[in-house]
Amino acid sequence: MNTLLHIDTAGPDALIGISQDLQVIASKQNNLSNTHGEFVQAGVEELCKEAGISLKDMDAIAVTMGPGSYTGLRVGLASAKGLAFALNKPLIGLSTLSLLAKAAIGHLIETKNDLLDDKQLQVFSMIDARRMEIFGAIYNSSLDYLAPEKAIILDEPLLHSLLTNGPLICIGSGVAKTKILTQHTDFHNKLPLFLDCSYSIDNMAALAVDKFKANDFEDLAYSGPAYLKDYYQKPLIK
């Protein structure tokens, strides 16, 4: 049985949890983005007590590598790396975009949606990057990349092009701005399926177990967050 600790501070809400194989046995969530660091430190200890498991009994530490909040990604990865180093455990890195795609496929399975049977199905994971830009990637129903992770400018020609390739599912915080684009009359006959949901600790456990079994681990010394674009800070006005 694989016991994994999960840490996610990539977005507005932070998630931590403990799973054994595919079963999540304890989890917590924090909705205050400016307190993720304190939440993780105290929350991990509380989770271990709740689950009756010692940190030394973890087989690996799983953490979201991005894309997402610049500050949040640094907080989560620093915490996960610190624990992995102190406990001499492997570090598993998870893509937030892959997790969103996993959540989308899970939704189709739960709702018995016929789109699952379409070989041309596209899952467009999208994280809001302000203005009309998103961090995005496109997957098939097996979670294989159809388009790699990158910063993308959303516009109508892009959506029209994707819709000509097959059914399109959009999931993530970039959905709201995508909906606005599709209000144009040209989209009335063919629209993406919009999912107003995110990923969960269960999705993290599912992807992390696969990576654990494949010995797909991060290098503690050299791994870093997947920002997908450089961070820009406004200069101070003197």
Residue 94: the pLDDT is 98
Same fold, 3-95+199-213 and 97-195: yes
Q: What percent of the chain has pLDDT over 90?
A: 87
Residue 229, pLDDT > 80, answer no
Q: Which of 15, 6, 221 is nearest to 92 (CA)?
A: 6
Mean pLDDT value across residues 53-66: 97
pLDDT at 7 over 50: yes
What ranges do the domains of the chain cover?
Answer: 3-95+199-213, 97-195
What confidence tier does 237 reach under pLDDT thresholds 50, 70, 90? very low
Judged against a pLDDT cut of 80, whether residue 64 lies above it is answered with: yes
Q: pLDDT for 21-47, tens place per residue?
A: 999 999 999 998 889 999 999 999 999
Which tokens sit at 134?
């998103």
184 phi and psi, to 5 degrees? Answer: -65, 150
* DSSP β-ladder status, 14-20 and 23-30: antiparallel
pTM over cut 0.75: yes
- Give me the mean pLDDT over the 101-117 stretch: 96
Residue 126 has pLDDT above 90, yes or no: yes
As assigned by CATH, the class of the 97-195 domain is: alpha beta
Strand 60-66's sheet: what is its strand order?
23-30, 14-20, 3-8, 60-66, 91-95
Secondary structure class of 115 (helix, strand, coil): helix
Q: Which of 213, 219, 197 is nearest to 22 (CA)?
A: 213
End-to-end Cα distance, the chain:
58
Distance CA 18, CA 181 (A): 39
Structural class in CATH, domain 3-95+199-213 = alpha beta
